[in-house]
Amino acid sequence: MNICVFCSSSNSVDDIYFNEARNLGKLVGSKGLGLVYGGTNVGLMNEVAQSVKASGGKVFGVIPKLINDYGISADNLDELIVTPDMTERKKLLRNHSDAFIALPGGFGTLEEILEVISLKQLGYHNKPIVFINTNGFYNNLKAQFEQSYQENFAKQEYRKLFFFADNFQDAIGYIENYKQENRGTKWD
């Protein structure tokens, strides 16, 4: 099983987030799972990738040429693909993944994980999606989702499209026990 992890590429975030990324990577690697990620050598992205590798797991990176040209692509991966743009990057990340996790991150992390949720909602895939809510990082996003349910912008059943985990163990546990559901379309 390959798990795609979306997360911060910043080295400036608090140690609590690096610890969670490191622990997630150790668990993924020790279980013989593969990591699919954005292919950089910075931030939480690098931390999770290095931890997976150190724990015996395989790491597959996908980086767009623009970011690769900045000189921040990882060099010790099992495979690194350089794509022409972000659109192709995200497509490859999705196609090579059996599950998705969002550790804390910025605009890119949110854009990537929300696209995966939207695609699941529309029926393009039925893979598990997890937010790891380290240090309450995603509490405001949860509140925004709640407002969408309450004001009928999103169906109540969409709560099942993803899971908010308190930590890396709960995230992997959810993925390992995930049962696909047959759903109708958004407009049923």
Q: Report d(CA 48, CA 102) in Å as an integer.
A: 12
Q: What's CA 57's distance to the chain center, in Å?
A: 17
pTM as predicted: 0.95
In this prediction, residue 187 carries a pLDDT of: 63
Supply 67's token pair.
């970011």
pLDDT value for 95: 97
- Indicate the SS3 state at residue 83: strand
> What pLDDT does 182 receive?
73
Question: Could you list the mean pLDDT of each consecutive 10-residue stretch along the chain, which spans 188 residues?
Answer: 98 98 98 97 98 97 97 95 97 98 98 97 95 98 98 94 98 96 68
What pLDDT is recorded for position 162? 97
Residue 52: its H or E element: helix 43-54
Domains detected in the chain: 2-176 (3.40.50.450)
